[in-house]
Each structure stands twice: as structure tokens, then as C-alpha cells.
Amino acid sequence: MYDKLLTITEVAKLLGVSPSTLRRSEANGQVKEYGLNVVYTPGGQRRYIFDEIHDIYSKGGFSSKVGFGQHCALLIRDLTKAFITDGSRLSIKTPISIAGVDELVAAARLAEVPIVFTKTVYIEGDAFSELWARKFPAVKTLLPEAVHNAPIVEIANVDFDRVQATSYVSDFWDTGLVDYLRDKKIDTIILMGATASGSIRATTVEGIQHGFQVIIPRETIGDRSQSLLDMTVLDLNARYADIVSVADTVQHFRSLEAK
């Protein structure tokens, strides 16, 4: 009946309220305060219609476009074998357009746009790594020199302008990336990689707080479920970034190349 349904936890997070608040606001299968209809599964679980949540963001003072600035950098996060290869404990479950990634990398090179590659690493003995591993044990597999923690073969031979290994969620935290970008007069960061709800989200939020315009080509990010990816894309586009297509981004790179 409906293409996409969200759980009460997902919707509460998007709206900035608690699940219990949503439950209390419901009457006769509706949450009138937000204009939402409640759908019940055969097992009696509440579900909410994705398109209605999208409308709230579109009409409620969210989702304006910031656009590209004058000087861009392309940031690639965790396009490694660990996150992209089927069968890996950390592999994402939604498709990333590797062809789109290749196209963007090639277009960035022609436009002389800096390309930064960042991978997540687990550092034994590091306080944060060990704390995060208590919550996320699989991160322990991301040792710095692990074979599966290398770039996927499609980008393995790219001559990146900067390569970072970080134990943190954001590309910016304790990496010196802000100074690097500011030295190059960068005002816009374009993000690709995994996961949308993890490092891409964290880098987006920190990026805009550092004053960078944030652009995310939709086909080049992925996550561990389609609903999680859809929810994250909706929220990022509403508040922190412009979600665009690979084609739009390539077109912008070509406009830079022509200058």
C-alpha cells in the first residue's frame, strides 16, 4: 500500500520528540499536530508514512538549497573493502554507485578539485578506540594495516591529495583537515562514502559548523538498511546539506574546469 514506512523511533528522532510524545499525541489513528497518519502492521506495530514526513520537512521551513561555493573539495570516507565488500562484518546493505564515484573522481581531477580520502581505524591502546569498541565491537577489525581496510580496487590507484586515518567518527575531529581546507580557500565540501548515518552524518554536521557548504551526491553514499539511509538523507537535506545527483555535481565540476 505504501512504498516506505518508518518506525516510531525513526520518526521521533526526525521530529525531535520522544516516542512517548508521539504515542500520547495520537488519536483515532492520527497525530494531528504533525499531520501524520498512523499505519499498523499485522503485529500491531506503529508505522508512519515516509512521504508525510518528507512533506513536513519540505513545507516547514526546512530543505532550502545552499548550493555550491567557489572552491570545492571532494571528501571520500570509508570506501574500503571492509565497508563495500559483500560478506564483510561491516559491509553496507544499500548500493553505492561505484560508476558515479569514478565519474566524480575523474571530474574532480580535471577541475583541479582536491580529493581527500579518510578511513576509519581502530588503534589498540587508544582511549577513544577502546571506548567506541565497547559500543561497536566490529570496529576492532579496522586495524590500520588490515588488508580489508584498504581502498576498494576502483579507487586504489587514485593519487589523493590528502590521505587520513582516524579513529573518530568525523573526518574533521583531530585530523587537521579544517586547516588544510582553509589554506586552500575551500568553501564547499562534497561528501561520498559510508555510512550515511555514521561518518557522513558526523562530517556533515561538523562541516557546516566549521562554515563549509556541504554537498552530498545521493548515489554515492550507503548504509546498512534502506530505511536508515532514506531517513538519514531526508534529515541531512532538511537541515545540514544539499542532497544532489552525481550529474549535478559533475556539471558543477565542469563549470569550474571552464573558468
Given this model, what pLDDT does residue 59 score?
63
**CB burial of residue 70 (10 Å; 0-12, 13-18, 19+):** exposed
Residue 61 scores a pLDDT above 70:
no
Do residue 252 and residue 127 come from a single domain? yes
Kindly compute the dihedral angle of the four CA atoms of residues 166, 171, 172, 176, in this order, to the nearest 10 degrees. Answer: 60
Residue 1 scores a pLDDT above 90:
no
CA distance linking residue 92 with residue 196, whole number of Å: 10
What's the number of domains the chain is made of? 2
Give, in order, the Cα–Cα distances in Å from 99 to each of 33, 96, 102, 103, 253: 43, 9, 5, 6, 16
Q: What is the CATH number of the domain that holds 51?
A: 1.10.1660.10
The parent domain of residue 131 ranges over 72-258
Do residue 26 and residue 130 come from a single domain? no
Do residue 136 and residue 189 come from a single domain? yes
Highest mean pLDDT among 36-40, 77-81, 85-89: 77-81
pTM of the predicted structure, to 2 decimals = 0.81
Whether 65 maps to a domain, the answer reads no
Model confidence over 25-39: pLDDT tens digits? 888 888 877 778 888
Do residue 94 and residue 170 come from a single domain? yes
Q: What is the CATH number of the domain that holds 216?
A: 3.40.50.850
Do residue 43 and residue 162 come from a single domain? no
Q: Which range (22-26, 60-64, 66-70, 75-79) has the least confidence?
A: 60-64
Do residue 79 and residue 206 come from a single domain? yes
Given this model, what pLDDT does residue 2 score?
53
Q: In 3D, which of 75, 70, 57, 101 has the Cα closest to residue 255?
A: 70
